[in-house]
Amino acid sequence: MSALHFHFEIDGMDFSSAGDASVAVKKKLRQLGFPSDVIRRCSIAMYEGEINMVIHADGGTADVMVYPDKVVMVLEDHGPGIPDVELAMKEGYSTSTEQIRNMGFGAGMGLPNMKRYTDSLEIETQVGVGTKLTMVVSV
Amino acid sequence: MAEFQHSVSLDAQKCIGCTSCLRQCPTEAIRVRDGHAVIRSELCIDCGRCVRVCQHKAKRAVFDSLSDIDPKYKWRIALPAPALYGQFDELADIGELLQGLLELGFDDVYEVARSAEIISECTRRYMRKPNILKPVISSACPAIVRLIRIRFPELCDHVLPILPPVEYASRAAKASALQKYPTLMPEEICTVFISPCPAKTSYAKNGLSQTKSSIDYVISISDVYKQLSGKFGKGREFTMRSKAGIAGVKWASSGGEVEGLYLDRYLAADDMDNAIQVLDAIENGKLPALEFVELNACPGGCVGGAATVENPYIARSRLLSFRRGLPNYRNYLHLEDKEPDYIPPDAMVDNPIKDYVPPERFSEDRFEAMRMMAQMDEIYERLPQIDCGSCGAPTCRTFAEDVVKGECRMEDCIVLLKRHLQAQKEGAEK
Ligand SMILES: Nc1ncnc2c1ncn2[C@@H]1O[C@H](COP(=O)(O)OP(=O)(O)OP(=O)(O)O)[C@@H](O)[C@H]1O
Ligand code: SF4
Ligand SMILES: [Mg+2]
């Protein structure tokens, strides 16, 4: 069976709607009857990715492909890219500004959590070009 | 489990099929069909928001009335919610109100605020336990508890496994009556909760999970208000005295519960939209630093309940004025010799809240559900996407769902129909 495909535009200027795509995906997965732990893992991974695009990359797009046995999330932006992926994956590593930290982000836990809650996380990134994350959560 | 009994119902005669309640429903449980609103039982959380927004008074919260009380009960105990105290303008002392309740025909009064103090004490003890899931979410508002079960099942384990104050009050009231009047039989005693909302009625009818409630009747604050308003403040004698402290009375408004916990990192949110946003944030792991979250479905907390009379802010201000003369706590468990995290077993919820049936699920078969969703997206693309509500669904998206589920047809979209007719007309003219 072919996948269901959902597409979201993530607005880089709009902090208040950051997280909306994650909420929308959560609702779809509930309607499809996915187990609640799968829903939760997707929702957390999606949320962190979404926020990263808003904070670090001026927005981007999210494409979610739902298969009967897995959910694939692809987040793509044309932001600054990540110079050192290994470093960015470290818990606590963050380049967030003071201002962002004051908003409650920037603990450097986003990427590590995305890794923890998904079955696979792939990062393709190029400085000055952008970043593409592919995450898979299997049932 | 037996069918869930709701306490929000519709008076079809009064309902004119307008759409004011449609979009207000936090779980999208309402549709207009054949000119009348219909509530979907499996999604309704009895929050009473539709009761509040209906200008035609067609949505009703179902309550018992005093005359419903079975004569077999020889000892009727009123359990006034603390929100009741804020309803009367002329009231100078809570005791006068409690006396008023006796004059309505109750044999005794047991204030829910007293039990709220006990529940605060138990919660403080619970918060000391190691390995509890945080943030802990309050269990006091039944609309929130049901919302969590329906929409945030993963958070069920965060819900405080301690009885809501009204349940504790009902049990304590019965126990103390039996002790005081040894000739009474348990089956001769009933408790009557004076409630700010339909959600609590549902709670009393359905209990929590498998735990049956000991509350026998629920009457509304507005009903009691009608019978008692104008009776106070005329220099009447009264002998009843409130036995609650500030901490218990505070529970009537949002933030009152968390204040009694003496925590550093907490949050209190009221009104359904705020509560949903907070729950989404907790589910995304975004509030890990919080210890406790108090959520109330109604604006301002229970003083804003759908069965209250007074504006919640006015009611709250009156509560503040009573509070001035009161000590903080007057009800204690006296557990000094116990471990700091000991909680009396009778204050705990017997069965933790966990039985997840996703009511939003399209089909039990995931392939079928996926097929339906694909079809739904296709239909949605063809719709005007203006969420006008004239089809009877709150949004174009829910309409698309309803079409796929076979509950309505494309032609029910009036906007689309008009476009078709227009196109036909233009075609004919050419
Ligand atoms: N889409 C992106 N584009 C550019 N840089 C990124 C992107 N996502 C992450 N980064 C970089 O990787 C670092 C670590 O990301 P991570 O999500 O783990 O932490 P954070 O966003 O800084 O803080 P938190 O997610 O805890 O709020 C970021 O500080 C940022 O420098
Ligand atoms: S906030 Fe209070 S009044 Fe409103 S539904 Fe919840 S318990 Fe009832
Ligand atoms: Mg991040």
pLDDT, one tens digit per residue, over B221-271 is 999 999 998 888 777 788 899 999 999 999 999 999 999 999 999 999 999
Which of B144, B218, B302 has most ligand 2 atoms within 8 Å of CB, for mutation?
Answer: B302
Inter-residue contact B244 to B117 (CB < 8 Å): yes
In terms of C-beta density within 10 A (0-12 exposed, 13-18 middle, 19 or more buried), how is residue B184 classed? middle
What's residue B359's pLDDT? 77
Distance B333 CA to ligand 2 centre (A): 26
A47 touching chain B per CB within 8 A: yes
What gap in Å lies between CA B10 and CA B51, rounded to an integer?
Answer: 9
- Taking the alpha carbons of B42, B146, B205, B253 in that order, is the dihedral positive or negative? negative
Report residue B1's pLDDT band, with 50, 70 and 90 as the boundaries: very low
A87 vs chain B: nearest CA distance in angstroms? 22
Tens of pLDDT, residues A56-107 = 999 999 999 999 999 999 999 999 999 999 999 999 999 988 888 887 788 8
What gap in Å lies between CA A139 and CA B282, rounded to an integer?
Answer: 22
Across residues A19-46, what is the average pLDDT? Answer: 91
The CATH class of B1-61 is alpha beta
B373 and A37: CB-CB below 8 Å?
A: no
Tens of pLDDT, residues B362-383 = 888 999 999 999 999 999 999 9
Tens of pLDDT, residues B207-235 = 766 678 999 999 999 999 999 988 887 77
A96 touching chain B per CB within 8 A: no
What's residue A1's pLDDT? 59
Distance A95 CA to ligand 1 centre (A): 7
What's residue B114's pLDDT? 97
Q: Which residues have C-beta within 8 Å of that of residue B267, sequence separation ≥ 6?
A: B135, B258, B278, B287, B290, B292, B293, B294
What ipTM, to 2 d.p.? 0.84
At B6, list the tokens.
């709701």
- The CATH code for residues A4-138 is 3.30.565.10
Nearest to B360 among A23, A31, A68 (CB): A31
Interface size, chain A vs chain B, as Cβ–Cβ contacts under 8 Å? 61
A37 touching chain B per CB within 8 A: yes
Any ligand 1 atom below 6 A from CB of A21: no
Across residues B71-81, what is the average pLDDT? Answer: 97
**Which of helix, strand or coil describes residue B136?**
strand
User: From the centroid of its chain, how far is CA A107?
Assistant: 16
Provide the mean pLDDT of chain B: 91
Residue B113 pLDDT exceeds 90: yes
The CATH class of B362-430 is mainly alpha
Structural element, H or E, at residue B275: helix B272-283
Spell out the domain ranges in chain B. 1-61, 66-347, 362-430
Residue B392 pLDDT exceeds 70: yes
What's residue B286's pLDDT? 74
pTM of model > 0.95: no
Nearest to B370 among A26, A66, A113 (CB): A66
Nearest protein CA to atom 2 of ligand 2, as residue: B302
Residue A8 pLDDT exceeds 90: yes
What gap in Å lies between CA B306 and CA B308, rounded to an integer?
Answer: 6
Tens of pLDDT, residues B175-189 = 999 999 999 999 999
Any ligand 1 atom below 6 A from CB of A94: yes
